[in-house]
């Protein structure tokens, strides 16, 4: 009995020491991130050509092996970047959906870390125990147009059985040739996901995909679950309560499910929303820290001590978020007052080159939204929604309008300003008012799902709030989170 107690105490202290080491590296990675952040990648809409100088630079470094392992439908190279000498093979691929680039940026941050002069002990532990393989931007044609699907119009992540796409065939070929022990399947998800039954966005969501309909757990899937539990603990330090877990219903066409079936511990990571981070740069940092820390715990094999049952404790993903939720406004319809909640989504609309975007908003839902949440929430109890008016003056140009003047218009209930001639090719404005042509007539207010939310909120004959293209503008002088209004041509 005494010997058993001694053994148990030793195991406890070993586990505690391992946990302390991992906490230390996680904190250090977070604190030093700016040293390794790849400076040439700062926006989500990155293109294949922007990655090539970074990849070419590695070809001259003897630590790396860089191979073209396939081509996209439009002929863009798919490159595999490998480093390390360890017996455990870890394969990371990103952007199989072209409009999901957050982890692509994080991959090059991780590579910069591996090339740096610090963290020598940790890097040695990683590279002597692991061989890392990166396949960034699996869907470069989709990235070019900033769209989910590839040039063939199919979802590569549903091509694991038929292998109709060259990108899917490349992924399968690389996985098989490596016979990887671990696979990190890196994605972005909608910013409207939240951690179940909370108002917090699912900044990061995880899944250890099932490999059969019964959702059995073997060692392969169990190891993926344990690493996910470890990564969840890390994210909780920096985005507490902002982690979700995907439903694990088996999808026989999906790569993650099949890669799990083929013997690679598959870890799906989805980058969602984070308040005030439209370009997902804070989420990119969380990817960098959590993935590198996970790689370190795989190298040290400390993940093996993590309780499997902790995986189910991660809240499930839910989709109950709006960009703006307005609670309890009064809406007069046909002479009767009704109390409604209104939920607003702001959709990104790309420019012609898919290099930038503006927002065009819609009412996503209305009615009783008490079970939903908002990144921004306004309690409009006692306020009546009123349709915006068109300012009677016709202005010569956008340049003739000043923001202070526009705010005065909003307080008077004007949400539209007419121009003699609308600027050619321009679809949005930084001014917090909708821009229209000289013959425009304001629509009567008809609150409904799908409409562009542009109206004012009035109480005691005073307008305190304007909603312009789905953005809340506080007219009492408090700061507003306004991005753009629209230039409406009809």
Residue 52 phi, psi (nearest 5): -60, -40
Distances (CA, A) of 201 to 208, 239, 274: 20, 10, 7
Nearest 5°: phi and psi at 354? 55, 40
Counting Cβ atoms within 10 Å, is residue 361 exposed (0-12), middle (13-18) or buried (19+)?
A: buried
Smallest CA-to-CA distance from 268 within 161, 157, 111 is with 157
Mind giving me the DSSP string for 356-383?
Answer: -EEEEEEEEEEE--TT-EEEEEEE-TT-
Asked if residues 139 and 150 have their Cβ atoms less than 8 Å apart, the reply is yes
Rounded CA-CA distance 419/438 in Å is 6
Phi, psi of 399 (to 5 degrees): -65, -25
Instruction: Provide the residue-wise pLDDT of the chain in tens; the chain has 490 residues.
Output: 444 444 444 434 344 444 555 667 999 999 999 999 999 999 999 999 999 999 999 999 999 999 999 999 999 999 999 999 999 999 999 999 999 999 999 999 999 999 999 999 999 999 999 999 999 999 999 999 999 999 999 999 999 999 999 999 999 999 999 999 999 999 999 999 999 999 999 999 999 999 999 999 999 999 999 999 999 999 999 999 999 999 999 999 999 999 999 999 999 999 999 999 999 999 999 999 999 999 999 999 999 999 999 999 999 999 999 999 999 999 999 999 999 999 999 999 999 999 999 999 999 999 999 999 999 999 999 999 999 999 999 999 999 999 999 999 999 999 999 999 999 999 999 999 999 999 999 889 999 999 999 999 999 999 999 999 999 999 988 888 999 999 999 7
Gyration radius from the chain CA atoms: 26
Separation CA 133–CA 91 (nearest Å): 5
- Among 38, 42, 72, smallest CA distance to 55 is for 38
Domains and CATH numbers, the chain: 21-318 (3.40.630.10), 321-488 (2.30.40.10)
């Amino acid at each position: 009995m005494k010997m058993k107690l001694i053994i148990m105490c030793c195991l406890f202290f070993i586990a505690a020491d391992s946990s302390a080491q991992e906490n230390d590296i996680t904190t250090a990675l977070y604190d030093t991130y700016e040293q390794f952040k790849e400076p040439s990648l700062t926006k989500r809409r990155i293109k294949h050509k922007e990655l090539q100088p970074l990849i070419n630079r590695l070809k001259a470094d003897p630590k790396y092996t860089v191979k073209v392992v396939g081509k996209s439908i439009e002929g863009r190279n798919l490159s595999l970047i490998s480093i390390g000498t360890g017996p455990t093979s870890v394969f990371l691929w990103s952007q199989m959906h072209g409009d999901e680039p957050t982890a692509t940026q994080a991959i090059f941050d991780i590579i910069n870390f591996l090339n740096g002069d610090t963290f020598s002990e940790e890097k040695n532990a990683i590279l002597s125990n692991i061989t890392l393989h990166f396949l960034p931007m699996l869907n470069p044609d989709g990235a070019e147009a900033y769209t989910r699907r590839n040039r063939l119009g199919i979802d590569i992540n549903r091509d694991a059985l038929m292998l109709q796409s060259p990108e899917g065939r490349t992924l399968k070929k690389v996985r098989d040739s490596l016979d990887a022990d671990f696979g990190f399947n890196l994605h972005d998800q909608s910013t409207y996901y939240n951690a179940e039954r909370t108002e917090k966005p699912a900044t990061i969501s995880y899944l250890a995909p099932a490999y059969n309909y019964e959702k059995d757990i073997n060692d392969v899937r169990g190891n993926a679950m344990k690493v996910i539990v470890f990564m969840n603990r890390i994210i909780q330090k920096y985005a507490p309560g902002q982690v979700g877990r995907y439903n694990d219903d088996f999808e026989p066409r999906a790569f993650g499910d099949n890669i799990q079936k083929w013997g690679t511990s598959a870890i799906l990571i989805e980058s969602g929303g984070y308040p005030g981070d439209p370009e997902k740069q804070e989420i990119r940092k969380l990817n960098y820290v959590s993935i590198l820390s996970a790689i370190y715990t795989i190298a040290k094999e400390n993940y093996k001590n993590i309780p499997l049952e902790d995986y189910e404790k991660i809240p499930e993903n839910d989709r109950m978020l709006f960009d703006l939720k307005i609670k309890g406004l009064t809406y007069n319809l046909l002479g009767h007052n009704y109390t409604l909640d209104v939920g607003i989504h702001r959709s990104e609309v790309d420019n012609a080159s898919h290099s930038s975007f503006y927002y065009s908003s819609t009412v996503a839902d209305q009615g009783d939204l008490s079970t939903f949440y908002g990144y921004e929430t306004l309690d409009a109890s006692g306020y009546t929604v009123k349709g915006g008016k068109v300012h009677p003056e016709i202005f010569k140009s956008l340049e003739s309008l000043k923001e202070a003047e526009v705010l005065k218009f909003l307080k008077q209930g004007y949400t539209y300003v007419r121009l003699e001639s609308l600027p050619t090719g321009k679809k949005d404005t930084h001014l917090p008012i909708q821009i229209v042509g000289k013959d425009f007539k304001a629509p009567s207010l008809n609150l409904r799902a799908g409409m562009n939310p542009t109206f004012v909120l009035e109480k005691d004959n005073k307008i305190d709030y304007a909603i312009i293209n789905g953005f809340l503008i506080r007219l009492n002088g408090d700061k507003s989170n306004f991005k753009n209004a629209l230039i409406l041509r009809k």
